[in-house]
Amino acid sequence: MIHAREWISGATCNYIVWQFVEHYRANDALARRILNTAEIHVVPHTNPDGYQWSWTNSRLWRKSRNANSGSTCIGTDLNRNYNDNWGRGGSSTDPCSDTFMGRAAADTAEVRNTAGYYARIAPVIGAIDMHAYSQLILRPYGFTTALSPDETRLNALGASMQTAIRNTHGRAYTNQRSIQLYITTGSAGDWFYGASRPTNGGFRTAAYTFELRPTGATPGFQLPPAEIIPNGQEMYQAFRVFVDDVQRNPIRNTEEA
């Protein structure tokens, strides 16, 4: 929930947690192995002020709610504010824009705190940033058409998650690089992957951005309640595949060798 209006993303995180607990209690072998051996950190909300505003004032509010010096326009697009190729395209210098990138990289409290949290729990071998909508599995990079050093590996894992989703309720998700959607810079997805430097214990974070249901602008961000649980079920299956895969075969950061 970096973007306030994308309510399904926070609900999906909570549903995944609940399903892991329920399946653990039911002696599901994979759920028990994952929860007994992996440390999973779940952050359902990274933009609480914006989220509250989307309930009380503007349902389709996207940004945070920080004041911007010299402007009457409020908020920063937190998913354009991370310190990874910040300000190189796909964002705006206009505080009134929905994609306002901030005055400087990581100048928002939300981004500074999530980046600091990531550093404290390192090494992190996998990270997923949940968004809505379009039914996409996006992998690095968003800032360039150049392939990441782990393109083959990330593409294959994305395809495995794509299959897990389709096998749950028949939903078709597209597995692609972020730049194939549109350019994004200063994004969480690229930052998770790009931040895998010497501070990450010799690993590079397998990072993805999910764009959840639906496929189009109708109903767009206002997903009908009847679709919340089916969406959660297919994402739970994808997440099981994700954790199992990165646990068994974490990406080594060969640039440190």
DSSP-assigned beta bridge partners for residue 137:
175, 210
Query: Does the N-terminal peptide bond of residue 219 adopt cis geometry, omega within 30 degrees of 0?
Result: yes
Tell me which amino acid residue 12 is: T
Segment (H or E) for 19: helix 7-25
Q: Rounded to whole angstroms, how far apart are CA atoms 125 and 215?
A: 29
Active-site choice (22, 211, 255, 256): 211
Number of Cβ atoms within 10 Å of the Cβ of 58: 12
Distance CA 108, CA 81 (A): 7
Q: Can 234 be counted among the known catalytic residues?
A: no
Task: Give 149: exposed, middle or buried? Use CB within 10 Å, 0-12, 13-18, 19+.
Answer: middle
242 CA to centre of own chain: 13
Distance (Å, whole) CA 235 – CA 215: 15
- Alpha carbon distance 166, 147 (integer Å): 26
Please give the backbone phi and psi of residue 128, each rounded to the nearest 5 degrees, phi first.
-125, 130
Structure tokens at 128: 């997923």
Any idea which residues carry the catalytic annotation?
211
